[in-house]
Amino acid sequence: MAIVVSALKEATGENRVALTPDVVSRLVKGNYEVLIEQGAGVNAFYPDQAYQDAGATLVSRDDAIKQSNLIAVINQLDATTIGQLTAGQTLIGLLAPLTDPDGIKALAKQKVTALAFELLPRTVSRAQTMDVLSSQSSVAGYKAALVAADKFSRYFPMMITAAGTAKPAKVLVLGTGVAGLQAIGTAKRLGAVVSGYDVRPASRGEVESLGATFLTTSVSGAGEGGYARQLTPEETQQQQDELAGFIAENNVIITTAQVPGRKPPLLVTQKSVDEAKPGTIFIDLAASDLGGNVASSKPNETVMTPAGAQIIGAGDMASQLPAAASDMFSKNVQAVINYVTKEEALSFDVDDDVLGELLATYNGDIISNRLRGAMNLPERTSSRPDQTVAADTETKGADQS
């Protein structure tokens, strides 16, 4: 019997879809049965007919839930929908395990197998094709630079005209992980003079390879394996003070520092915001209900300061480029599906170094040690004497990617 995979229509405000027609076609050829909730891909510019042509069956939301073995979503389901799930079903997506423990507990109570992309151990090479955080951060960084260019009141490139020469915009990107590097590359291609900042001195080569100037403060946040460590309060204050000078010299500041499950670090203080020149644009990719990198930023809103600077809460940038973002998200989902399929059945080895962390819940238990630590649960030990259960607890670069 074929494994039945379904994708649901996301809540209002989310334009992405977890499965695209291209991936549906591949799954169907791989002997999976695919159900798509009617209208699921419309906001990502994938009409229902495209899914039918790819071999999927269009169904109601209730049928997409009830008739599937594995349900793919972008974001965590609401409580009502979680209540419709049955024991043994698998849910995969960005399930907010570190910020929505009640939702995860509800999934465990239902004995649903929950695969949360936020928990993926990204240092394991085999996990790279499953890395949703990187794929969506790449989209977000690209889109952030485009939004900045659109909102900025002057040219991005230097322009020589009959009326004189327009100076190029000066763009500062704070955090040079995947999102930051994509923002740097895009802003550079648009003709701006670009600088990239990171607490990791080792990031210099990546930033300079894109033609940007590398900036860092006297605070070094280099951690193990090229990852950034969390700064102490004293280091954070020193970082903010030194960043203020960089910020004041630039027209556009794009911030990307996120730590899943925790309040984003404040990089741009209220003082820096208040002193920003008229026309300055702040793009805060970390803006969320937990806070942001820029003082006064609000998720999905634009705040105008009294001096005429704009603070754009841009936590939904991937959703604003839905077709491209959905393409990559869907391929990440397919990679996980392939990984957990053994002999035409779903199989979950909780001691596998990838699945052991990607699994938020399995058979009623909380599996990921990273999640267990956040929930103040004792560490789970492997049933294999020679197997170490690893937890990926740090964040690459200064952003979530």
Active site residues: 122, 128, 131, 134, 227
CA distances in angstroms from 182 to 37, 231, 274, 286, 315, listed in the order given: 33, 24, 28, 15, 16
Query: Beta partners for 8?
Result: none
By three-state DSSP, how is residue 104 classified? helix
d(CA 64, CA 143) in angstroms, rounded, equals 32
DSSP calls for 291-354 = B-SBTT--TT-EEE-TTS-EEEE-TTTGGGSHHHHHHHHHHHHHHHHHHHEETTEE---TTSTT
Yes or no: say if 8 and 40 are a contact pair by the CB < 8 Å rule.
yes
d(CA 71, CA 21) in angstroms, rounded, equals 16
Yes or no: say if 75 and 11 are a contact pair by the CB < 8 Å rule.
yes
Nearest to residue 280, comparing CAs of 250, 302, 315, 301?
Answer: 250
